[in-house]
Amino acid sequence: MSVAEQSQTRPGADLRFAVIGAGMSGMLAAIKLEEAGFPHVEIFEKAGDLGGTWRDNTYPGLSCDVPSHVYRYRFAPNPNWSHRFSSGREIWEYLDGVAREYGIRDRIRFNTGIDRCEYDGAVWHLTTEGGETETFDIVITATGVLRDPVMPDIDGLDDFEGPLFHSSRWDHSHDWRGKRVGLIGTGSTAIQITTAMADEVGKLSLFQRTPQWVVPVENPEIPEQEKQALAKDPARMDSLYDYLADRFQNTFARAVVGDKEELAKVEKACEENLATVRDPELRAKLTPDYQAACKRLIMSDRFYEQVQKPTVELVTDRIERIEVNGVRTADGRLHELDMLVCATGFEAHKFMRPMQVIGRDGHTLDDEWAEANRAYRSIGVPGFPNFFTIVGPNSPIGNFSLIMISEMQFAYIMKLIDQIAEGRAREIEPSREATDRFNADIKDAMTGTVWVSGCSSWYLDKNGNPAMWPWDFERFADEMAEPDLGDFRMAS
């Protein structure tokens, strides 16, 4: 049966959906809603193209450190991944290919940011940046987490006369090869950039504020023969997906939420990796004073080799200010530069804001989340009926394949949507009591995680609470299996 035929028969086919964001999770929502026979779905995207983080980030060396064969939609296997951890470009091309194959690319309303969502007791009114207002029954936000770049608050930043940009806004009109490049930060991004640049840069000054633990992970090419075998046998891709997911879930993901034995293995691998740095002085500078995996663990089997290249200088003196032609450190030295890149991370706690969200009785999301971002099972917020979020607060980011997480969250959201579509409720939202209980459980469970073992990281919110999932994968799978309708307020 075609989607058009299905839409005439399925209950709730007249429901109007707004999907906000056309990154990995917004695309998923659009595809799944269409597949379920809902014909009235508008997809709003603030930027001029799809792909979210894989559109924004184009820096040298960009790849995903989740294995590609599990970093894909379950319904769209890809036999052609070039590497175990494929490049950012390849991931973007994969997403673009899926969008074309499922016919959603042409339906995305690009350059159409949503400024405001307001519930009037029956429907949601969405106002675009251009000032137009449209009405929807159900809103799904898929606005990502690592979206808004943070520039460092350093004196003189605007004085620098050469090219200066954030790592997620790479300016490819300036060639860095053979030049003197400054790179601020030593997170996952900066480590990938350093590794990629070391062989061809004139000189790279890597400004490190805090050393990082780096676990060595090989990134082999996938042989042609293996790609062909996978293409011929989709079941093989499924088994590979399951195998990789299982390995992730039973090793690293357990290590961070309290499995001491697994954490000890991670620590040992990091320490052995660090020991490969030959110069004791450099090794000392690269040695963290906190537990491995407290900050987002860096995965690279090449960083230490590359940071030891004569083209790279690790600068650990504090940056005092930025000047016309370089960076001045606290020891008085001026590091002269042709280009300066800030790999200084993202504002990870805004979620869909600064979009204004006004729920039942004029209650705003800004007020609701003034103290902390509290959602029920990451997908909904009390007082905001028929308003759902993919990869909302306390989603398991970083521990698993985020595409898998989005698929599980959206499957759960679909079951709530069914309640509306099938006429069992006009409004559905998590109850206050269930949301408070969920967040109290999260708070308790966080004490056993590595994220609160004493370091600063973007995982922690302004109160020092990790915005993460503090349990293992089984618990997530269990919670996402079926909505507990007793935890929801349903009004007809």
Q: Residues 56, 65, 137, 429: which binds ligand NAP (CB under 6 A)?
A: 65
Q: Are 117 and 51 in contact (CB under 8 A)?
A: no
Q: Which of 261, 284, 33, 220 is nearest to 138 (CA)?
A: 33
* Residue with smaller CB distance to ligand NAP, 69 or 296: 296
Pick one of 188, 194, 394, 395: the residue that binds ligand NAP (CB under 6 A).
188
Residues in region 270-299 near ligand NAP by CB under 6 A: 296
Does 61 contact ligand NAP by CB under 6 A?
A: no
Residue 458 interacting with ligand NAP (CB under 6 A):
yes
CA 181 to chain centre: 27
- Asked whether the beta carbons of 126 and 114 are under 8 A apart, the reply is yes
CB closer to ligand NAP out of 143 and 189 = 189
Please state the closest distance from residue 185 (CB atom) to ligand NAP, in A: 3
Q: Characterize 426-463 residue by residue with b for buried, 16 or more Cβ atoms within 10 angstroms of its Cβ, and e for exposed.
A: ebbbbbeebbeebbeebeebbeebbbbeebeebbbeee
Q: How far apart are CA 318 and CA 328, in angstroms?
A: 9
> Cβ closer to ligand NAP: 334 or 440?
334
By the 10 Å C-beta count (0-12 exposed, 13-18 middle, 19+ buried), 280 is classed as exposed
What residues numbered 367-406 form the site for ligand NAP, per CB under 6 A? Answer: 398
Residue 64 touching ligand NAP (CB under 6 A): yes
**Using CB under 6 A, which of 152, 163, 202, 288 touches ligand NAP?**
152
Does 456 sit near ligand NAP (CB under 6 A)?
A: yes
17-25, 57-65, 93-101, 241-249 -> range binding ligand NAP (CB under 6 A) = 57-65
CA distance 208 to 342: 11
Instruction: Please name the residue ranges forming H helices in 124-251.
Output: 188-197, 224-232, 234-250
Q: How far is CA 201 from CA 48, 296, 313, in A?
A: 31, 27, 12
147 touches ligand NAP by CB under 6 A:
no
Binding of ligand NAP by 186 (CB under 6 A):
yes
Report if residue 189 touches ligand NAP, rule: CB under 6 A: yes
Nearest approach, Cβ of 394 to ligand NAP (angstroms)? 15
Q: Does residue 343 interact with ligand NAP by CB under 6 A?
A: yes
Region binding ligand NAP by CB under 6 A among candidate stretches 261-269, 302-310, 339-347, 362-370 = 339-347
Among 144, 345, 359, 382, binds ligand NAP (CB under 6 A): 345
CB of 342 to ligand NAP, least distance (A): 8
**Per rule CB under 6 A, is residue 210 in the interface with ligand NAP?**
yes
> Residue 382: is the preceding peptide bond cis (ω within 30°)?
no
According to the binding rule CB under 6 A, does residue 322 interact with ligand NAP? Answer: no
Closest CA to 16 of 126, 95, 96: 126
Name the residue with the smallest CB distance to ligand NAP. 187
Among 319, 336, 321, 269, which residue's Cα sits nearest to residue 298?
Answer: 269
When the beta carbons of 194 and 344 are compared against ligand NAP, the nearer one is 344
**Closest to ligand NAP by CB, 191 or 420:** 191
In sequence order, what DSSP letters do the residues of 330-387 get, joined into one string? Answer: TTS-EEE-SEEEE---EETT-TTTTSEEE-GGG-BHHHHTSS----BTTTB-TT-TTE
Tokens coding 221: 């090419």
Please give the Cα distance from 383 to 359 (Å, whole number): 6
Between residues 38 and 85, which has the closer beta carbon with respect to ligand NAP? 85
Please give the residue ranges that form the binding site for ligand NAP (CB under 6 A). 63-65, 146, 152-154, 167, 184-190, 192, 209-210, 296, 319, 343-346, 398, 456, 458
